[in-house]
Chains A and B, each alone.
Chain A
Amino acid sequence: MMDMFRRAAADFVRHRFLHGTCFLTISLAVFIVSAFGLFLVNAGELMDAWQQGVRITAYLKSDISGQEALALAEELAQKPEVASVSHVSGEEGLEWLKEQIGRQTDLLADLSENPLPDALEIRPEEGLTGADAFDALAKSVSAQAEVADVEYGRNWLQRFYGIYNLFRMTAAVMAALVILAIMFIGANTFRLILYSRQEEIEITRIIGADEAFVKYPLYLESMLLGFCGAVAGLALLYAAFLAVMPQVPPGGLLPVFQIRFLSPGWIFMILMASMFVGWIGCWFTVRRFLRI
């Protein structure tokens, strides 16, 4: 094993230009894929944070008494998709409205009676995600006889999910294309390396080396290249992240949301994927090259 490492390391130095090209290609590809991953992870977390702030407001019919409203609140709170339900009386609603409009409170002074109905503010469970799930919950609430109208920013939610899903699909397609590109470039780089070593490999085989002796150091080289390329790509992304972060005001997107770098799990996955892609490119080439 040590011997294999020694030979792989010597090959790195000997074919530094070709290995350097392959290393740069992998680094760049990993940088692009990881940048998309970073965006998606943070967009996903932003969605989660934003969703936790989403409330469904059910406006009750004017003839519903306070007791009936509380009974309905209890009934809705039993639903598995609902975290909590709070009752907001018409008076509380009017007070809140006055607070919101501030100095223009005079506009409300001439009202002979409170026009605001009682309402129930429904906080969905944290696990509830997707515009469809919110839609379904809103429909089940509006189906109640006591409810006059339901409001929950449906259009915003749908638009946001639409954009998020578009990015997610784009990222998946990009990642697939970049992975194919790495495999293609990796395979071709290894083909060049093998061609440049054709005579050496031929001699090694003539003197009695088996396929394992020839190909395992190459596999090791390809995985090391994948690993080093991924480390460099991630380091580059981290440097870019550190450079960009001061430009984003704290709490600029949402007060509870903080942009974060990729988690150790993601980093580990990217390193493994890069090593695997490097190896598979090499495997294809070696398999064809060593055929007698």
Chain B
Amino acid sequence: MIQTDPLDNRIIRFYQVSKHFGDSWALHDLSFDVETNEFLFITGPSGAGKSTLIKLLYMGERMSSGYAIVDGLNLTRMHRRQIPVLRRKIGVIFQDFKLIAHLNVFQNVALVMEAAGFKSRTEIRRRVGDLLELVGLADQAKAFPPTLSGGEKQRAAVARAMVGKPKIILADEPTASLDPEAAERVLRLLCAAHARGATVLITTHDRNLISRFDTRVIRLEGGRQVADAAGNAVGVCP
């Protein structure tokens, strides 16, 4: 059982976490901790359980066994009413962007704040405007996702993930469907989020991408954790 300590700097704590779908094990006995403001990669081949791990972290799926705590919230016995509280602490970026097609870029990003209960339209406009400026989409604020390129969609997704000022950013293969230039831009934005204090956890199977960073890498294979290599904690972003 995990003991919580208010002075503990670990924002994510996994202890013997397993997840199975029917008879098939997606994750098996996963144990690791993540420090606040850490920048780490989860890597492994397709089917290793990377995406399942991300889903467990934002409670898109419930774990089958084990214990997990995310920013003081116990995922093991979390009531469904508490799930939105957890998700407001997390910004998630997906490989397929998951933008709402009939909302424009501004509305997609603003939806996070509306869902979190922000009432002030001025505050929403200001914060979303700043974020769109940061990701280079200020001119595309009124554009709808189907009209954007892959890189632009992913930058909009990054803006959406950052707008709620989350403590944790989970990026599930964020550069997999992007060209090198667009991928580079997205990574720089994730570094910017890290520089602002967020804990960033990126899943990828791209070894070239990981090799550019001097940071911690957890490797999964067949749902098991096979390596946890620490990197230099300072100045991880190139």
Residue pair B87, A205 in contact (C-beta under 8 Å) = yes
Partner of B115, one of A14, A208, A292: A208
- The answer on a CB contact under 8 Å between A206 and B102 is no
Number of interface residues of B (CB under 8 A): 21
**If the complex has contacts A292-B80, A292-B83, are A207 and B102 also in contact, measured as CB distance less than 8 A?**
no
* SS class, residues of chain A in contact with chain B: helix
CB closest chain-B residue, reference A3: B114
Q: Are A208 and B84 closer than 8 Å at their CB atoms?
A: yes
Least Cβ–Cβ distance between A56 and chain B, in angstroms:
69
Chain A, residues 180-211, CB within 8 Å of chain B (1/0): the string is 00000000000000000001100111111111
Say whether B83 contacts A207, CB under 8 Å.
Answer: no
CB atoms of A207 and B80 under 8 A apart: no
Whether the Cβ atoms of B102 and A14 lie closer than 8 Å is yes
Look across to chain B and name the residue whose beta carbon is closest to the beta carbon of A10.
B102
- A side interface size, CB within 8 A: 15
Which of A204, A210, A211 is within 8 Å of B111, CB to CB? A204
* CB proximity to B under 8 Å, residues A98-129: none
Chain A residues contacting B142 (CB-CB under 8 Å) are none
Beta-carbon contact of B81 and A207 below 8 Å: no
In the complex, A292→B92 CA distance in Å? Answer: 19
A284 nearest CB across to chain B (Å): 18
**CB-contact partner of A203 in B81, B88, B98, under 8 A:** B98
Query: Is there contact, CB below 8 Å, between B98 and A210?
Result: no
B160 neighbours in A (Cβ, 8 Å)? 207
Compute how far the CA of A209 lies from the CA of B58 in the bound complex, rounded to whole angstroms. Answer: 13
- Residues in chain B near residue A205, CB distance under 8 A: 83-84, 87
A213 at the interface (CB under 8 A from B): yes
Q: Are B80 and A209 within 8 A (Cβ)?
A: no
Closest to B92 in A: A206
Expressed in whole angstroms, the Cα–Cα distance for A207 and B111 within the complex equals 8
B44 close to A (CB within 8 Å)? no
User: Is B60 an interface position by the 8 A CB rule?
Assistant: yes
Contact present for A208 and B164 (CB under 8 Å): yes
* Chain A residues, CB < 8 A from B99: 203
Interface residues, chain B, with chain A CB atoms under 8 Å away: 58, 60, 62, 80-81, 83-84, 87-88, 92, 98-100, 102, 111-112, 114-116, 160, 164
5 pairs from A and B in contact (CB 8 Å cutoff): A204-B111, A204-B115, A205-B83, A207-B111, A210-B115
Interface residues of A (CB under 8 A from B): 3, 14, 199-200, 203-211, 213, 292
